[in-house]
């Protein structure tokens, strides 16, 4: 009986590659700690970012003069949200630099401490009745500073989690991390709904308007303290092979050597943020102003929409692991364009009360913000180790700026079409941008995080 000839294949088995090697001994604990840290960090970040939309909305009279027009009130409210979004790219550049040059863990600790303190300061703000227009001005300014620290926090924490993740599980782990975004929105909505049930919110001197809105901000500051302690005690820097290639000026290197990769990510993320703002920031106002739902019904609807979206993210993450990130984004962009914008249009045309809002709203939710499912994996796979945090943070955040001024675009569109249908057009545009962004990029799901030569089409 003859023996088979020895194999002539090169001896670079999957187990020899750092990102494919199954962790043993203490490494598995480090993997779990990093992923858990990423989950907690992203949850706290998203919890903080959505606080003004859900929590402050019923108490907006606390910060503004009572005789302001509806359009001015809407503009100021959008600036509170937009100021945070505009601050995030600046935070990504600042903290991305230190994450790529000093270390992911230490930079995360500074960012978390910063936004925890800022959130606490917001909870202590006096109102318009006490300090006049300084009240809304300080809220906008503190939210801008908050955005800088928040931009730094996910710029460092998410790449760290992805660098510890096994290659074949990056899509799943990324989706678990990003699922905390709609989950955080749902938690805020649940807390706000409970407080609106327990506290009076009618009038400037009602319990909710005077102090109830502060409670979710205090919870946010407490969550930041928990996150800080967790990273300090549990999370480790990424494996040594992923930190050996450092550069003194990662942002300059990103712009100089990888402009095409950054541009492609910018297109994808611009569509992503535009769709997200239509769902999270515009839809609640339209539910109240056009469909005439009560504050409690609006909060309940947004809770259900985002809970459904959170459950869909792991499905999208695993799907991207099977069919590839590129195919996923090309296909999901088309779903946003057709299904997402269509569901929003039917919702606004339904006038069917809470039931219709829940049904069509859920369909819209799972068809507009699912881009985030595998985004943590995709953006970190897209850039080499020396600029990974900077590339992830800038690519993720820079595209926030144009979509952040959605209120101006809606006002322009409202000049030639019904205002409540205008967001559907922006959702469709967002879908087109997502598909184009996916098409222009390479496939990345098999990238070895420790081997830059496996990253396709970097330049």
Which CATH number applies to 26-454: 1.20.1250.20, 3.65.10.10, 2.30.130.40, 1.20.58.220? 1.20.1250.20
Concatenated DSSP letters of 118-184: HHHHHHT---HHHHTTHHHHHHHHHHHHHHHHHHHHHHHHHHHHHHHS-GGGHHHHHHHHHTHHHHH
Greatest Cα pair distance in the chain? 96
Q: Could you read off the pLDDT of 310-333 as tens digits, one per residue?
A: 999 999 999 999 999 999 999 999
4 or 102, which is more confident: 102
Judge contact between 33 and 236, C-beta under 8 A: yes
> Tokens in use for 423?
């967001």
Cβ atoms within 10 Å of 208's Cβ, excluding its own = 23
Q: Could you read off the pLDDT of 156-193 as tens digits, one per residue?
A: 888 888 988 888 899 999 999 999 988 888 888 888 88
Q: Could you read off the pLDDT of 242-300 as tens digits, one per residue?
A: 555 565 788 888 888 899 999 999 999 999 999 999 998 889 888 888 888 887 888 88
For 372-422, what is the HEC assignment? HCCHHHHHHHCCCHHHHHHHHHHHHHHCCHHHHCHHHHHHHHCCCCCCCCH
| pLDDT over 90 percentage in the chain | 38
Q: Could you read off the pLDDT of 213-250 as tens digits, one per residue?
A: 999 999 999 999 999 999 898 888 776 655 555 657 88
Nearest CA among 277, 292, 269 for reference residue 395: 269
Concatenated DSSP letters of 239-252: PGGGTS---S-HHH
Q: Would you state the pLDDT for residue 25? A: 40
> Tokens in use for 343?
């569901």
Q: Which residue has the tokens 């709609």?
A: 182
Whether pTM > 0.85 for this model: the answer is no
Q: Would you state the pLDDT for residue 246? A: 60
What 3-state DSSP class applies to 103?
coil
Q: Would you state the pLDDT for residue 241? A: 53
Q: Would you state the pLDDT for residue 14? A: 38
Q: Could you read off the pLDDT of 110-144 as tens digits, one per residue?
A: 999 999 999 999 999 998 888 988 998 999 999 99
Nearest CA among 348, 356, 350, 375 for reference residue 305: 356
């Amino acid at each position: 009986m003859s023996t088979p000839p020895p194999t002539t294949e090169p001896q670079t088995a999957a187990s020899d590659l750092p990102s494919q090697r199954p962790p043993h001994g203490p490494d598995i604990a480090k993997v779990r700690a990093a992923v858990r840290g990423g989950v907690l960090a992203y949850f706290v970040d998203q919890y903080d970012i959505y606080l003004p939309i859900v929590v402050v909305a019923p108490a907006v009279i606390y910060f503004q003069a009572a005789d302001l027009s509806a359009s001015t009130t809407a503009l100021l409210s959008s600036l509170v949200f937009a100021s945070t979004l505009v601050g995030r790219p600046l935070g990504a550049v600042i903290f991305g630099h230190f994450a790529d040059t000093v270390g992911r863990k230490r930079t995360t600790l500074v960012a978390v401490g910063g936004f925890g303190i800022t959130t606490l300061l917001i909870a202590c703000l006096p109102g318009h009745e006490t300090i006049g227009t300084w009240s809304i001005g300080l809220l906008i300014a503190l939210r801008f500073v908050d955005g800088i620290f928040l931009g730094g926090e996910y710029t460092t924490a998410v790449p760290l989690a992805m660098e510890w993740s096994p290659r074949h599980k990056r899509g799943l782990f990324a989706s678990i991390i990003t699922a905390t975004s709609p989950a955080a929105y749902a938690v805020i909505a649940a807390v706000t709904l409970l407080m609106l049930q327990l506290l009076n919110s009618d009038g400037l001197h009602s319990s909710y308007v005077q102090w109830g809105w502060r409670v979710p901000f205090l919870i946010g500051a407490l969550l930041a303290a928990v996150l800080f302690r967790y990273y300090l005690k549990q999370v480790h820097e990424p494996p040594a092979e992923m930190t050996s290639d450092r550069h003194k000026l990662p942002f300059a290197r990103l712009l100089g050597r990888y402009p095409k990769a950054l541009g492609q990510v910018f297109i994808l993320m611009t569509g992503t943020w535009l769709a997200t703002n239509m769902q999270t920031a515009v839809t609640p106002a339209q539910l109240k102003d056009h469909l005439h739902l009560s504050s409690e019904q609006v909060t309940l609807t947004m809770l259900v929409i985002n809970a459904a979206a959170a459950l869909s993210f792991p499905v999208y993450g695993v799907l991207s692991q099977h069919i590839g990130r590129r195919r996923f984004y090309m296909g999901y962009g088309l779903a946003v364009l057709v299904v997402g914008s269509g569901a929003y249009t039917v919702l606004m045309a339904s006038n069917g009360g809470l039931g219709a809002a829940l049904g069509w709203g859920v369909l819209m939710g799972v068809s507009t913000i699912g881009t985030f499912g595998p985004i943590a994996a995709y953006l970190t796979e897209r850039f080499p180790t020396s600029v990974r945090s900077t590339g992830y943070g800038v690519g993720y955040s820079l595209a926030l700026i144009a979509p952040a001024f959605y209120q101006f675009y809606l006002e322009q569109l409202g000049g030639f079409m019904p205002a409540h249908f205008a967001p559907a057009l922006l959702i469709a545009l967002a879908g087109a941008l997502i598909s184009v962004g996916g098409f222009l990029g390479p496939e990345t799901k098999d990238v070895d995080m420790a081997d830059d030569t496996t990253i396709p089409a970097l330049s």
